[in-house]
Amino acid sequence: MTKATLEQTAEAMVADGKGVLAADESSGTIKKRFDSIGTDSTEENRRDYRHMLFTTPGAAEHIGGVILFDETIRQKATDGTPLVEIIKGAGMIPGIKVDTGAKPLAGFPDETVTEGLDGLRDRLAEYVELGARFTKWRGVYRIGEDMPSAACITTNAHALARYAALSQEAGLVPIVEPEVLMDGDHDIEVCDLVTEEVLRAVFNELAVQGVVLEGMLLKPNMVISGQDCPERAGVEEVAALTLRCLRRVVPAAVPGIVFLSGGQSDEEATLHLNAMNKMAGTAPWKLSFSYGRALQAAPLKAWSGKPENLAAAQAAFIERAKANGAATLGSYA
Ligand code: 13P
């Protein structure tokens, strides 16, 4: 697998007007989502729900890549067609979450380090066989007293870079996701400082470990006020501070930045991305999305586990996909 192939895949995922659908909820997370609509999290229901998303007519106009969970990349539709083939056939690129979750960081009880490096080379080889062309790994950073600690920042940066290097070795484009959580009552300036420090550590490690920047995507949080901050910054400020932070630390060689939504409402996530693209001018990277909740909240609710709601759910999904596609061009109205 050549460097050129990695670059082509990364660029296709963030082609004009396109972003990424994060549909890689682990078993625990998808159960929480299904609980919210009163639906049992059975393998069949998970398959039917995701099949609904992947077969939405016109989705590929706005969605360049789809992140899957291990179970999903092995699942087949009722007619026997693998879901991966459905995604490819529609013109989207399948990818896979390869971390095994954020686990308590020894000595730092309120923080985590993301695991999944043991045996990763072999797992990546299998995912290539199953049709994946990119991967995702999420490191998590909490803002609080003495947090994130240097231990949390360095261990997660190291793991993200090891994961990214292994992915590229296997010919897979790594989505490097360091997420500074929105939880807390901190203001936007604190988020700005922490995000800059976290991203700087990540890019230092990526450089140390020889990760090809042209063949990866960055999936960061936006610079945003804490969820419980009494005075939350508005759309223009979020966009301006996020852009300033990224310009300080993300090398121009990175082809795309695909934000996570991280608990923003779907409309907020779209407005923020749109404002950034309006403001960005000659930014060196594409500014796009890799949303989970902000793309799925509406279709999940519309679907509510009932096959007869399929058309309504797909309509809700395409509405969000289209809105975010427009936001990548700064033309969302
Ligand atoms: P959210 O957009 O719901 O934050 O999910 C994105 C994701 O993939 C988190 O790892």
What is the full per-residue pLDDT of the chain (333 aa) written as tens digits? 589 999 999 999 999 999 999 999 999 999 999 999 999 999 999 999 999 999 999 999 999 999 999 999 999 999 999 999 999 999 999 999 999 999 999 999 999 999 999 999 999 999 999 999 999 999 999 999 999 999 999 999 999 999 999 999 999 999 999 999 999 999 999 999 999 999 999 999 999 999 999 999 999 999 999 999 999 999 999 999 999 999 999 999 999 999 999 999 999 999 999 999 999 988 999 999 999 999 999 999 999 999 999 999 999 999 999 999 999 999 999
* Percent of the chain as helix, strand, coil, to the nearest 5: 50, 15, 35
> Which residue out of 66, 221, 260, 264 has the highest number of ligand 1 atoms within 8 Å of its CB and is therefore the one to mutate?
260
Query: Which residue's CA is minimally distant from atom 4 of ligand 1?
Result: 262
| Active-site pick, 25, 97, 111, 177 | 177
Distance between Cα 293 and ligand 1 center (Å): 6
Radius of gyration (C-alpha) of the chain in whole angstroms: 19
> What is the H or E stretch that residue 20 is in?
strand 19-22
Buried b (16+ CB within 10 A) or exposed e, 176-208: bbbbbbbebebbbebbbebbbbbbebbbebbee
Concerning whether 322 is annotated as a catalytic residue, the answer is no
Instruction: Quote the pTM value.
Output: 0.98
Q: Are strands 173-180 and 286-291 parallel, antiparallel or unpaired?
A: unpaired
Concerning whether 129 is annotated as a catalytic residue, the answer is no
**Cα–Cα distance list, 247 to 48, 130, 251, 287 (Å):** 41, 36, 8, 12
Helix pair angle (293-303, 310-327), 10° resolution = 160
Distance between Cα 28 and ligand 1 center (Å): 14
Query: Which residue's CA is minimally distant from atom 8 of ligand 1?
Result: 22
**Cα–Cα distance list, 185 to 18, 142, 232 (Å):** 33, 12, 9
Q: How far apart are CA 264 and CA 272, in angstroms?
A: 10
